Structure 1
Amino acid sequence: MVHNATHNSTEINDQHKRKIVYLVGLLLTLTVINGTMFNVAVPDISATFELSPSEVSWVMTVYILIFSIGSLVYGKLADIYPIRTLLIISVVLFSTGAILGMVSPNYSMLIVARIIQAMGGAAIPALGFLIPGRFIPRERGVIVGGLSAVFAFASGVGPMLGGVVATSLGWRYLFVLSVLSLLTIPFIYKWIPQENRREGQLDVIGAILMAISVASLLFFITTFSWYTAATFVVVGLLFVGRVYTASNPFIDPSVLENVPYSTTVLVGFFANAVIMGLMFVLPIMLGKYYEFNAFQIGLVIFPGAMASAISGKIGGKITSKKGGIPVMIMGLVLMGTGTFLLGSLIGEPGWVVAACLLISYLSFPLISTAAVDLIATILPPQQNGVGIGLFNLLNFLAGTISTAAIGSVLDFRNIQDSWNPLFTRQGEEVIYSNIFIALTLIVILALLVFILIYVVKREESG
């Protein structure tokens, strides 16, 4: 039996809805900016503690590791415990880690601070995208579209803001925004509806096996150590066995066996691999091939981030009226168009690159909005938390795999054969063109899989 929330959507007036949306949007902004702006501060942190490149990389790696695992754990917890309680705990952890980071006297303390930050920050996107479906279901599409736009916009603004703060004040001040999240706790308590605890329990053994398998996979991706690969295979198999044998598994097998859900997650995985690949390779290409400085690179990327805020709102409105299927198709078409144009127009002026990137950035909030809406529609309410959590986890893995793969490809500087018949230039730009074409092929594969399952199969069954 599932207990109903103390407050439901019919008891929330329009003013209360707006307060919830603004609150979640603010928390999401603080979390996403925190996760992205530290990239530009890595050299300063390295200089402060006299770290090697491999050592300083852990400032980002450990955050991503805990954040990705935590997104699934919080999703599962939200199927059992009240979201309001989880949010308050997460904000306390997030800000506590930030305070420790600001005053950290050594590298070890900084790593501990980032771990605590990630333990709290992981809850924000996991719970933020659940809140509309749980408390404001009739306006879920519009709200998720807006939150997706916030996510995309903050991702673009984060590196620029981080560069300004780190340059003018120092990298320790990057933690200030996270500390300010403490001010949201009274509003979380007042505005997020209280719920009763739902029946169920957390499969601790399954959660531990999941965490170890994900951690070992991430370590393998970044270090290519076969010991971590073996750990992933062994522990991963134990986790799968646990899923199918435990009386109350961490992930219900019916979630994994749900074909529309699995298709949505797979398409989201491909799409996130492409967008994170773009975010990784573009600054490198603009810096090395175009010889742009950090400010010029920011100018190329910023219009896309701004445009994504607009497309998220539009996508949310369309999703509310037409559902997630047409919005997902629209997003994938835009993404593939943008990557193909990038692969064809390298060498053209920077404003041309910015225009092509803008097209790809328009797709990101559309795909996120459609995926969250489809998952909320496909899965029963008691599985929405773990469903969204697994979706978020695989998105993080997709980004990690994509950036690691592209980084390895960029080590090969002698590639001269272009995969794009429309690209006739020779030289260093060929490798970048081929990367963008490879990303385009991934988008095409995702689009074909989505159409096959959601359009063709539905027509056949209908």
Structure 2
Amino acid sequence: MVEKHLNSETEQTAHQQKKAFWWLSFVAFFSVMNETVFNVALPDIAKDFGVQPSAASWVNTGFIISFAVGSMVYSRISDMYGLKRPLVIGLFIYGGGSLLGLLAHAFFPAVILARFVQGAGASAVPALIMVMITRHIRPEDRGKAFGIVGSIVAAGEGIGPAIGGMIVHEIHWSFLFLLPMAALLSAPYFSKRLVDETVLIRNIDVFGICLLSFAIVMFALFTTEYHILYMTAGFVAVSGFALHIRRVKHPFIEPSLLRNRKFVIVVLSGCVLLGTVAGFISMVPYMMRTVYHMSAGMIGGGIIFPGTMGVILFGVLSGTLTDRIGNRPVFFLGLSFIAASFLAASKFGDRAPWIMTGLLVFTFCGLSFIKTVISNSTAQCLKQEEAGAGMGILNFACFLSEGIGIAFVGGLLSIRAFDMPFLPAMENPEGAIFSDMLYIFTFLAVAGGLLYVLADRRIKR
């Protein structure tokens, strides 16, 4: 009887975890979609407020920076208070930021502030779903779980520009702030049904969070303004953070994790690749507007959206392949899709719009493969007790790199001297700057691949 009762409790717990996983996936779709939904609106925002692309890019960069820092904070909090309370609080912060943006959309600084607040709330979801998988999914099934999440996340990132383009074209870009409200539908379920586990209680390293956040903002400003003062301030803050985490009892980032070379190299590889792809995707609306004079609706729905169709299939497929044949083959398949797409776009992107549409399909599919492998490889580098902090660092670093990638593109578009082609370029003279950026993206993708090769030698698959 006791054994039967225990089995019943185990089955019930597994059912609750499965249901919570799908609710988290639902919310993750909307939270990550908000990362890219403003992409096609950036040219319109720059025009409405009379600002340079480097300034307009902060509508996305601000969201992603707070999203990155928040993902790390929520992962650390989950080690202290479990999943329930951080998740519900994050959802309401997300809704508050959305309301602020909608009501104050006529004031550019308020729009940037609203995006920072949105990111601080939305980051709870992908951070905690990664922790849930690492803690509660068997190692032999993690690849599939990461694949499902990667598919949902990639679909959210991909469909964001399509929905955003439609809303911008038919209504106004300020109504993009309404979309996140759908995530609040899940709050009652999490509040009532999700079991809140307490792992341990300890203080939060607020000073460390502030130091690292300041450094990130300074580095992001440097990629858009290229002023040495920002770079200097960033290095000072990072140096102070490095000293700080060695002196406090419970630092924001455990120094022991940073001494795990396998873990660090895998995370760096993911940063380079995801940041590069994010920069490429943020470049596409500017390229389509400049070369083809397309509207936001056509860019989002006709150029970017088709790429999301293959993402759902390939995200699940990547998880299955990873479990069966290992990380490395799947990784290089994804890398090949991405690098080949960049090279083809650099030369033929101005021949016809449908060419970019097809290349984006390959890029999004490659992105799904890369995300699954990076998540799975990172989990293999961590001990059970390191899951929350380790997966939090991965989320933090990768989301941060996406923000830096978008800011980098905005900065390059504001440099007039970059208009000259340095290598064989598109036939359309207006496409020269985009050809140059695509060659840089290709180089960065290859560099990310080499980093993974270095890490893969140390990882037991």
- Indicate the TM-score class for this superposition, using the shorter chain for normalisation: 0.7 to 0.9
1:280 equivalenced with 2:285 (yes/no) = no
The 2-side partners of 1:175 and 1:406 are apart by 23
Alpha-carbon separation, structure 2, partners of 1:441 and 1:297: 26
Matched residues, number: 448
Q: For residue 190 of structure 2, what is the aligned residue in structure 1? A: 188
1:397 aligns with 2:395: no
Partner Cα distance (2:12, 2:135) in 1: 12
Query: What is the distance in 1 between the residues matched to 2:9 and 2:452?
Result: 31
Aligned to 2:85: 85
Give 2:381's match in structure 1, choosing from 378, 383, 400: 378
Q: 1:295: Cα distance to partner? A: 3.5
- Residue 23 (structure 2) aligns with: 23
CA distance in 1, matches of 2:136, 2:459: 30
Matched, 1:415 2:413: no
Aligned partners of 1:51, 1:192: CA distance in 2, in Å?
Answer: 43
Q: Which letter maps to 1:148? A: G
Q: Distance in 2 between matches of 1:23 and 1:91?
A: 13
Which position in structure 1 is the counterpart of 2:122? Answer: 121
Moved more, 384-393 or 11-20: 11-20
Match of 1:73? 73
Q: 1:71 to 1:352 in 2, by over 3 A?
A: same
Report matched runs for 1:127-276 at 5 Å.
127-138=128-139, 139-276=141-278
Please state how far the C-alpha of 1:256 moved relative to its aligned partner: 0.9
| Separation in 2, partners of 1:105, 1:161 | 19
Deviations 1:376-405 (A, max 9, x none): 221123322222222223223323333344
Question: What's the CA shift string for 1:397-448, capped at 9, x where partnerless?
Answer: 32333334444444336524425xxx68574444433322322222222222
Compared with structure 1, are the counterparts of its residues 38 and 322 closer, same or farther at alpha carbon in structure 2 (3 Å cutoff)?
same
- % identity of equivalent residues: 27
Q: CA offsets, 1:6-52, max 9 Å, x none?
A: x99954566545422321121111112223223445577688xx744
Query: What is the CA–CA distance in structure 2 between the aligned matches of 1:289 and 1:36, rounded to whole Å?
Result: 21
SS class of match (1:279): helix
Q: Is the 8 A contact 2:102 2:174 kept in 1?
A: yes
Q: Matches of 1:270 and 1:144 in 2, distance apart?
A: 20
Contact 2:215–2:237 (CA under 8 A) maintained in structure 1: yes
State the alpha-carbon separation in 2 of the partners of residues 8 and 338 from structure 1.
Answer: 51
What SS class does the counterpart of residue 202 from structure 1 fall into?
coil
8 Å contact from structure 1 (residues 338, 358) kept in 2? no
Residue type matched to 2:321 in 1?
A: I
Structure 1 340/186 Cα, relative in aligned 2: closer, same or farther at 3 Å?
same
Say if 1:416 and 1:426, in contact at 8 Å, map to a contact too.
no
- How far residue 100 of structure 1 moved from its aligned partner, in angstroms, is 3.4
User: Deviations along 1:243-287, whole A, 9 cap, x unmatched?
Assistant: 223232221112111111111111111111221121022222222
Residue of structure 2 equivalent to 1:307: 310
Deviations 1:62-110 (A, max 9, x none): 3333222212211222222211111011111111222333334863655
Distance in structure 1 (CA, Å) of the matches to 2:208 and 2:329: 36
TM-score w.r.t. length of structure 1: 0.86
* Aligned-residue offset at 1:111: 5.0
Give the root-mean-square deviation of aligned CA atoms.
Answer: 3.1
Matched AA of 2:51: P
* Partner residue, 1:3: none
**TM-score, scaled relative to structure 2:** 0.86
Aligned residues of 1:413 and 1:428 also touching (Cα < 8 A)? no
Distance (Å, rounded) in 2 between the aligned partners of 1:333 and 1:354? 17
Question: Where does the alignment leave 5 or more consecutive residues of structure 2 unmatched?
Answer: 1-6
Rounded to whole Å, the distance in 1 between the matches of 2:115 and 2:27 is: 17
Distance 1:43 1:402 in 2: 17
Residues 8 and 40 of structure 1: CA distance in aligned 2, closer, same or farther (over 3 Å):
farther
Deviations 1:279-316 (A, max 9, x none): 02222222212333333323122221211121101011
SS at match of 1:251: coil
1-structure distance, mates of 2:249, 2:86: 25
Is residue 55 of structure 2 the alignment partner of residue 53 of structure 1? no
Change in 2 beyond 3 A, CA 1:194/1:405:
closer
**Counterpart Cα distance in 2 of 1:82 and 1:223:** 40
The DSSP-based 3-state class of the residue aligned with 1:194 is coil
The 3-state SS of whatever aligns with 1:80 is helix
Residues 60 and 358 of structure 1: is their aligned pair in 2 closer, same or farther, counting only changes over 3 Å?
A: closer
Residue of structure 2 equivalent to 1:293: 295
> What is the Cα deviation at residue 237 of structure 1?
0.6
Q: Structure 2 vs 1, CA of residues 11 and 231 (structure 1 numbering), >3 Å: closer, same or farther?
A: farther
CA contact (8 A) 2:274 2:401 kept: yes
AA aligned to 1:415 is: M
The 2-side partners of 1:71 and 1:407 are apart by: 24
Q: Distance between the aligned counterparts of 2:132 and 2:419, measured in 1? A: 50
CA distance in 2, matches of 1:57, 1:371: 27
Question: Which deviates more, 440-449 or 159-168?
Answer: 159-168
Q: 1:276 to 1:307 in 2, by over 3 A?
A: same
CA distance in 2, matches of 1:222, 1:8: 57
CA distance in 1, matches of 2:176, 2:419: 39
User: How far apart in 1 are the matches of 2:454 and 2:218?
Assistant: 33
Deviation, structure 1 residue 145: 1.0
- Change in Cα spacing, 1:391 to 1:339, as seen in structure 2 (3 Å) is same
Q: Which moved more, 1:289-298 or 1:445-454?
A: 289-298
CA distance in 2, matches of 1:448, 1:161: 35
The one-letter code sitting in structure 2 at the alignment partner of 1:394 is A
The one of 442, 448, 451 aligned to 2:450: 448
